[in-house]
Amino acid sequence: MGHSQRPAIEQVIQTYFDGLYEGDTDKLASVFHETSALTWDQDGKLMILSRDAWLEAVRTRPSAKSKGLQRDDGILMFDQSGPTTAFVKVKCQIPPRHFQDYLSLIHVDGRWQIVQKVYAVSVTM
């Protein structure tokens, strides 16, 4: 495996964006490791949601696509520290909520997978 894995990692991130926008939990599950979790701050309290609990929430809510919401996602920062470890900061939105995600990735089981997601959210009115 060559050192620069950026194209392969960007494909994982694109699958994440598509899955998020479309509400496609199969796409999301394919790029998030089963042990991964979502972590965020809520009123000064650390919140942690397991991958499967998050996928269930996505599965039961209307997708941004189905609601005709505008899509605005992209990579803000990319860092690869070695052949099997990477960090990507991204932006995405489900209006009126705008997210910035810190995604940690590890190359495991022959592919890149997101192993942790830490995110911040802002709301526009």
pLDDT band at 2 (very low <50, low <70, confident <90, very high): low
The 10s digit of each residue's pLDDT in 51-89 is 999 999 999 999 999 999 999 999 999 999 999 999 999
The 10s digit of each residue's pLDDT in 6-51 is 999 999 999 999 999 999 999 999 999 999 999 999 999 999 999 9
Domain boundaries in the chain? 6-123
In this structure, the strands spanning 37-42 and 45-50 are antiparallel
Which CATH architecture is the domain 6-123 placed in? Roll (3.10)
Sheet bearing 111-123, strands edge to edge: 45-50, 37-42, 111-123, 97-108, 85-94, 74-82
The pTM score is 0.94
pLDDT of residue 4: 72
